[in-house]
Structure 1
Amino acid sequence: MSFDLPEGGNPEPPSQMRCVEIVKPGGPDVLRPTTRPIPSPGPDEILIRVRAAGVNRPDALQRAGAYDPPPGASDLPGLEAAGVVVEAGAAVSRWRLGDKVCALLPGGGYAEYATTHADHALPWPDNLRAEQAAALPETFFTVWSNVFDRAGLKAGETFLVHGGASGIGTTAIQLARIFGARVFTTVGSPEKAAACEALGAERAIDYRAEDFVAVTRELTQGRGVDVILDMVGGDYIPRNVRAAADSGRIVSIAFLNGAKAELNFAQVMVKRLTLTGSTLRPRSIAEKAAIADALREKVWPLIEAGRIAPVMDSTLPLDDAAAAHARMESSAHIGKIVLIP
């Protein structure tokens, strides 16, 4: 095991780490800073000294007791991080000690050290700061697998993403635009609309004052939208069906307004729609590795060239995880919120 030496040069590696745990299901106040033993990587895993950890909606669901970690994963929240490889399992050949990585985690990111499968890590781009690199994995894995793999968005098609100012939304806008789609989004304020249009959205629709179904049909001369990425659910589900073009694909990845809706399936049949969705965390090691490989080939060169970058909202100390969750759940943020151990 190889660790950065603490100040003073003490040769003994640390055995404990600072982290944030969930005391009980509840609101942001149930997140508590504490100390735990540093985890050990398995044969196919790496141990990362965390320099920054992203904050995501699934973390809040886990905190509320609605999104349990998969078997064998850490019970600590945190699904992405950037840092330095300080230990590698016996079967790991891709990474060396000292490599800078950003990684998708099964959990445990709200800590000074975290483990993950070696194939779920990607190089930390040299042109990004730690907090920017930590903001990449969860959103880029999610957007790529749902918008491009499941929905098959192609150049020249139209794309609508709800919640455009979120981490997912700002990522989806940039990726869809750079791969040649016309992009529309829904937002809740003029400030968020301006931010999304600056990223490449052709039109940001204020859902408080406008009907996205009517606006998108007008923008597409009545045709509708080819691909819709939905994080809202609830009454958006039937409205998505009305907004979709013939042979459109609607992908659900979260349900901020609820997971149930009344839907006229005759419209689905007549339009030949595909309704699909996914969650990332429970997917297999091989599936996540395949997404990482696709990102490394098709997206990482764009990041390294400065053509795409995560949109950053705020950076807070690890011990202020409760404040980070409160800001995320207020929906006042634009882009990603990141914790620094």
Structure 2
Amino acid sequence: MRAAVYRETGDADVVELVEREPGEPGPGEVRVRVVRSGVNPTDWKIRAGLSGSMAAEEVVPNQDGAGVVDAVGEGVDLTVGDRVGIILAAYQRPTGTAQEQTVVPAERVFVLPEGASFDVGADVGVPALTAHRALTTSEGGPERLSPGALAGRTVLVAGGAGAVGNAAIQLARWAGATVITTVSGPEKAELATAAGAHHVLNYRTEDVVAEVRRVAPDGADVVVEVSPAQNLALDLQLLRTAGTIAIYANNGGDEVPLKIRETFATNARFQFVFLYTVPPAALRAGMDDVVAAIADGGFGVGEEHGLPLLHFSLEQTAEAHRAVEDGAVGKVLIDVAP
């Protein structure tokens, strides 16, 4: 089978296409014939060596994917031929989804709803599950998402045109929240509107505090934050008492100045979201909820859902990584099979 691999960390040029034998699933494992491999920022950061040492001498990148089960190990409640999505394929393992067949633990696989595309299956992992976690850890808020679960609550999504921001908008809207998002320009505003945001604010030209307070006089219940170093002072002005700032990335810097008195007076909660160490039960609940949203028409990919798709071939895995690293707007997918 064909596989994209790297044997040292570095820029995208370390990725090459090779022929290798497919693995065999052991107890509790499943092998999937990969159709789509999703590329996320975490994938190029791991490849670049920004997240520690390599998991093995040869690594196949990419955490997320979708395809068809073609072999199962002992004790696995899946069937050959099942159409599935894959999450965290390369976490603490050297075998990601940028290959024609991948072996993963069965708990990192979910069955796609009938009619769901492999494209949307490859977007569930890092983007949608990160968004789900950000929306389900607030005080007084739901631990699960479903229609009406966030009714009466206001969610502010920073960076609504990104993959996680897009997922947060869609899932919050599906769950009944009033959704506000901030973007940097008209093109991204169109994408955030397509995703379902009720109110889209250009932070470069609009008074975000005034506009958010106009929509939600008491402030937002949850802020889904991608750039805390830049936005924390603003977030604290937009958060309602006992609200939650859910931080899932460090765009714009690693350090956040925090004024204690003005912060604790709001009873603000800071929820850090790092998908790899989310408790297994919460991870499975997230998968189940996102699958329900897909089946219900509440979560999708493509222009009509505010997330353009950018397709690359398996031979173009390095180029796909570069696209994400360079800030491509939309979801980067590798077409491993037709």
TM-score by length of 2: 0.86
* In 2, Cα distance between equivalents of 1:280 and 1:109: 17
Conserved? CA contact 1:81–1:105, under 8 Å = no
Could you say if the C-alpha distance between residues 211 and 75 of structure 1 is closer, same or farther in structure 2, counting changes exceeding 3 Å?
farther
Once the two structures are TM-superposed, the CA of residue 28 in structure 1 deviates from its matched residue by: 3.0
Query: Structure 1 residues 215, 120: CA separation in 2 closer, same or farther (over 3 Å shift)?
Result: same
The equivalent residue for 1:295 is 287
C-alpha distance in 1, partners of 2:176/2:183? 22
CA distance in 2, matches of 1:163, 1:280: 19
How big is the shift at 1:339? 0.5
Aligned residue among 98, 101, 121 for 1:110? 98
Partner of 1:65: 49
Code of the residue aligned with 2:199 in structure 1: it is: R
Aligned equivalent of 1:194, options 161, 186, 190: 190
Q: Distance in 1 between matches of 2:333 and 2:220?
A: 33
Q: Which residue of 2 aligns with 1:20?
A: 4
User: 1:275 & 1:145 partners in 2: Cα distance?
Assistant: 13
Contact 1:20 1:319 in 2 (8 A): yes
- Tell me the equivalent position of 1:130: 118
**RMSD over equivalenced CA pairs, Å:** 2.4
What residue number does 2:304 align with? none
8 A Cα contact 1:48 1:113, kept in partner: yes
Q: How does 1:1-341 map to 2 (within 5 A)?
A: 17-68=1-52, 75-92=59-76, 94-107=77-90, 108-149=96-137, 152=141, 154-221=150-217, 223-283=218-278, 287-288=279-280, 290-296=282-288, 298-310=289-301, 311-334=307-330, 336-341=331-336
* Matching residue of 2:146: none
> Offset of 1:264 from its aligned partner?
0.8
The separation in 2 between residues aligned to 1:281 and 1:42, in whole angstroms, is: 22
Which one-letter code corresponds to 1:182 in the other structure?
T
Across the two proteins, how many residue pairs are aligned to each other? 318
Unpaired runs of 5+ residues, structure 2, are 91-95, 143-149, 302-306
**TM superposition shift of 1:47:** 1.0
Helix, strand or coil at the partner of 2:276: coil
Structure 1 length-normalised TM: 0.85
Do the aligned partners of residues 120 and 340 (structure 1) sit closer, same or farther apart at CA in structure 2, a change above 3 Å counting? same
- Structure 2 counterpart SS, 1:240: helix
In the TM superposition, residue 211 of structure 1 has moved relative to its aligned partner by 4.8
**More divergent stretch after superposition (134-143 vs 26-35):** 26-35
Residues in 1 aligned to 2:53 and 2:10: alpha-carbon distance in whole angstroms = 16
For the structure 1 residues 74 and 29, does the alpha-carbon distance in structure 2 shift closer, same or farther, using more than 3 Å as the test? closer
Aligned mates of 2:56, 2:48 — CA distance in 1 = 20
Secondary structure (helix, strand or coil) at the match of 1:268 reads helix
CA shift at 1:139, angstroms?
Answer: 1.9
Report the secondary structure of 2:299's partner residue.
Answer: coil
In 1, distance between residues paired with 2:227 and 2:5?
A: 27
- The letter for the 2-side match of 1:246 is T
CA contact (8 A) 2:171 2:298 kept: no
Equivalent-residue separation in structure 1 for 2:267 and 2:48 (angstroms): 37
Q: Is the 8 A contact 2:209 2:234 kept in 1?
A: yes
- Provide the rounded CA distance (Å) in 2 between the counterparts of 1:84 and 1:69: 31
